[in-house]
Copies of this chain bind each other. A is one copy, B any other.
Amino acid sequence: MKTELDSERDFSQQIAQTIRDAIVSGDLPVDGRLPSEADLATRFNVSRPTVREALKRLAAQNLIRTQRGATGGAFVNRLSFAQAQEHMVTTATLLLSMNAVDFETACEARFALERACLPLACTRRTPAHLAGLRAEIARQGTDGLSDEDFCASDVAFHRALVEAAGNPVLSWHMAGAVEAMQPLMNMITFTARSRAQIIARHTDLATALANSDLVAACAALDDLASYTLELGGEIRTQRHARRTSTGQ
């Protein structure tokens, strides 16, 4: 591990980079313990606070965890799918909000990706998957369900759909795409009529999957995509109308 630092750049950044490289290259094995902060400070010839800043950078990326006490220290994390997923969702959410990605673009990407899961889901779905889908559909038909809960169930439905494809890498990608859309979806007011429409498409999807009918599944998803776009378009129109009326 290189311990010479370029005094032009931030020490903590260089130290973090060095350790990160050691982790990525497998030089530091998963669950392996890093030297103590005092050790690292000596090795890199910097102070402990500087080392700590470097370690916090790595902790922010879930690359290490720290533990206090006698046998404590910093340990290399196994990057779990769950953690990576969480991270991806926040990144994707920020990306959508900060770059003013419009609803149509986000929606298009999301449904395009989801369509990619259908062929696999049609062949691999288990009874458990189908039961999960139907459970969410039932939930979506509940009386008095808030818009937010309806959205949450919608996300759960699509997540279950993706899970049915039985590919963790695919699930990871999709979770980011679907969940990042949720804030945008939450802005939509779901009337009783639109809920019924969505539930109908969900039902079609579940049925198609149960029958392993790829063509029907694609049709149902396309239907859902265009209907979602339509709902989103109404929202945009309403907001535009409101903005115009207030002169902003």
Q: When the two chains form their complex, are residues A112 and B105 in contact, meaning their CB atoms are under 8 A apart?
A: no
Q: Which of B57, B101, B110, B177 contacts A56 (CB 8 A)?
A: B57
Contact string against B for A residues 126-150, beta-carbon threshold 8 Å, 1 for contact and 0 otherwise: 0000000000000000000000000
Whether a CB of chain B sits under 8 angstroms from the CB of A90 is yes
Q: When the two chains form their complex, are residues A105 and B12 in contact, meaning their CB atoms are under 8 A apart?
A: no
Residues of B within 8 A of A58 (CB): 60
Of the 9-residue stretches A165-173, A230-238, A239-247, which lies at the interface with chain B?
A165-173
**Which residue of the partner chain B has the closest CB to A106?**
B169
A94–B51 alpha-carbon span in the complex (Å): 23
Interface centre among A24, A56, A79, A116 (most CB of B within 10 A): A56
Q: Which of B13, B90, B106, B172 contacts A95 (CB 8 A)?
A: B172
Given the interface pairs A30-B98, A101-B168, the reply to whether A113 lies near B173 with Cβ below 8 Å is yes
Contact string against B for A residues 60-72, beta-carbon threshold 8 Å, 1 for contact and 0 otherwise: 1101000000000
Given the interface pairs A52-B53, A90-B24, the reply to whether A112 lies near B101 with Cβ below 8 Å is no
Q: When the two chains form their complex, are residues A81 and B99 in contact, meaning their CB atoms are under 8 A apart?
A: yes
Residues of B within 8 A of A173 (CB): 109, 113, 173, 176-177
A-side interface residues toward B, CB under 8 Å? Answer: 12-13, 16, 23-24, 26, 30, 49, 52-54, 56-61, 63, 78-81, 84, 87-88, 90-99, 101, 105-106, 108-110, 112-113, 115-117, 119-120, 165, 167-170, 172-173, 176-177
* Subset of 22 A-B contacts with CB under 8 Å: A23-B94, A24-B90, A49-B49, A49-B52, A53-B56, A56-B56, A56-B57, A57-B60, A78-B99, A79-B91, A79-B94, A81-B95, A84-B91, A84-B92, A84-B95, A101-B169, A106-B169, A109-B170, A112-B119, A112-B165, A112-B167, A113-B173
